Amino acid sequence: MLAPKSIIRVLPAFRGVTIVPIRTYAIGPATVPAAKLKYVPTSGEYPQGYKVGGIHCGIKKDGKSLDLALVTSDLPASAAAVFTKNVFKAAPVLVSRDMLTKRGGKGIRGLVANSGCANAVTGKGGLEDAEGMGKVVDQLVGEKEASTVVMSTGVIGQRLPIAKIYEGIPKLHDLLGSNHDAWMSVAKAICTTDTFPKLISRQFKVGETTYKIAGMAKGAGMIHPNMATLLGFIATDAPVEPEALKKIMTYAVERSFNAISVDGDMSTNDTVAILANGAAGGETIRVGGKGFEELKAVVTAFAEDLAKLVVRDGEGATKFVTISVKDAKTFEDAKQVASTIARSPLVKTALYGRDANWGRILCATGYSGVESVVPEKTNVSFIPTDGGKELKLLVNGEPENVDETRASEILAMGDLEISVSLGTGGGQEAVYYTCDFSHEYVTINGDYRT
């Protein structure tokens, strides 16, 4: 199995408290933890012209958990995707990237994804399996040329039980639907150590035309750009030319899925893809043309919300942390500082321990490699989410007399913000989303394959 359906283990006492972590994984038939139910929608607004679904085909060994997902578009769609930068790219990454390149992002008819096996570092056979998954879908939608995005997630270094997948895809195709339950089944079918399915949908307008957008993501560990063990899929019924969609997706991912970190590890399988089939009509959106900036803003905000759900489900996470870096010379500088803070184990463990050790934040800022950082101009604060005042920790390089009791109260909150101002006068800023490191993270990843 990928991991136990639940872990119940008494760990050493931490500051006098006995910690008993319980994580219920979405790969099993267990229910979503009560604290996460608020993130799981019970209804939605879904784009026209798509049929979707998910089933159990036998990859996951419990015999129940959904492990195969399929999305088809009634119309040939424009598509764009962003893939992992890991040198060891998984077979589905290579196959999907090559297919999109050859087609120029045009005429895409579907997406197929499996969970439970990553089909990564599997050689020539793995490539053949990924190509085969796409071909089965192509045949079902009546395409002679490759037109299907392929995704896989799970354990690295194992071959897919491809016969089960080949048998499962036609069965799933016959069951596809377009309602909320159908979309939710896709979100569930791509989960591994996730504790809840991540699905969002909404309406938006470009000019006088109303469109819909829906998307799902999976990921709880190996989350750090660019990107991580993360799959994401977005679909809209807006008409968008491929080049415009590619530019929009690149911009959006840089500010969402490439601006999150759970543990600093980059996976072999990361893929975030978007399809736009134009089923709702209207004027085609082109680079720099009418509706381009509006759609870019919509997709970016949508991707940010999906990415936040991934962090909220971080393995062992007890806190959702926003890191805001302001007044940098460039966006790239701000993001680099934020990223360095987000992946610092010392910062993340201090957050878990409710320790206002701002020196660790400052340390990470200093080794970020950003040359414009000036100690005498740097400011660090905690921003509470209870409506209280900003708690200043460092002002222009000088430490404040910190109220440790208030700091502990802020760090006890489920959501909090770390604000860093570099004081360069450049006015550029970036936001990063991360979580803390807990005992449970070690437990989960120590047992991942056992």
Q: Are the C-beta atoms of residues 429 and 326 closer than 8 Å to each other?
A: yes
- Tell me which residue has tokens 């919300």: 305
Instruction: Judge residue 391's burial from the number of C-beta atoms within 10 Å of its C-beta, 0-12 exposed, 13-18 middle, 19 or more buried.
Output: buried
Helices of type H across 12-147: 91-103, 123-141
Measure the CA–CA gap between 397 and 102, rounded to whole angstroms: 53
- DSSP assignments along 79-98, one per residue: EEEEE---SS--HHHHHHHH
Output phi, psi for 147, to 5 deg: -145, 20
**Chain center to CA of 138:** 27
Rounded-to-10 torsion of CA 256, 258, 259, 261: 120
Which entry of 229, 300, 318, 443 is annotated as an active-site residue? Answer: 229
Q: Are the C-beta atoms of residues 158 and 169 closer than 8 Å to each other?
A: no
Is 365 catalytic? The answer is: no
Tell me if residue 257 falls in helix, strand or coil: helix
CA–CA–CA angle 369, 264, 115 (5° rounding): 150
Catalytic (active-site) positions: 229
